Amino acid sequence: MFKIIFLILLCIIFIISILVIRQPNTFRYARTQTINASPAKIFEQVNDMHKFNEWSPWAKLDPNAEVTYEGPQEGIGASFSWKGNREVGEGKATIIESVPHQLIKYRMDFLKPMKATHTAEFTFTPDGTQTIVSWSMYGENGIMGRIILIFMNCEKMVGDMFSKGLLNLKAKVEA
């Protein structure tokens, strides 16, 4: 009996190992939204860390999360840390690149529920009187990340949150 259980467990471990190996080493999740505003108007909302939670979809998941700010209010070096419920976890976002009206990159240091460091990026592309805003996050998938990919559709989960955030941003700047 124990031999059969051991063989079944060994088969399960083998199958999970094969599935983990087949997962990608890197990821990139992205969503795009056209907003009826200039790149400058949108840029100021994303470049100012104190304004981020006004339109962030994660802020709505835990309005009681503890948020602290460090560095300048906007631009390179500006950062905010958060500590919230299970849905938002704990981490820190720091602007590492800021090209006025074109690009903002954040270093995302996640502490909970799982430690990870990734890059988030916003690009602003003028299109007549509108702006095409892209929000993406990319990085490496460690072993734990690849195991999670077997059981969860992270692209859909993160992408859906990006879509909500971009719609919130659109509503804010178009108001």
Looking at residue 34, the DSSP 8-state letter turns out to be E
What is the per-residue pLDDT for 8?
Answer: 82
- Tell me the C-alpha distance between 151 and 153, whole Å: 7
Sign of the four-CA dihedral 159, 89, 137, 147: negative
Asked if 91 and 108 count as a contact pair (C-beta separation under 8 A), the reply is yes
Say which residue, 154 or 125, is predicted with more confidence. 125
Is 0.75 topped by the overall pTM? yes
Least confident of 8-17, 136-145, 155-164: 8-17
pLDDT digits (tens, 9 = 90+) for 42-79: 999 999 999 998 999 998 889 899 999 999 999 999 99
Rounded mean pLDDT, 111-134: 94
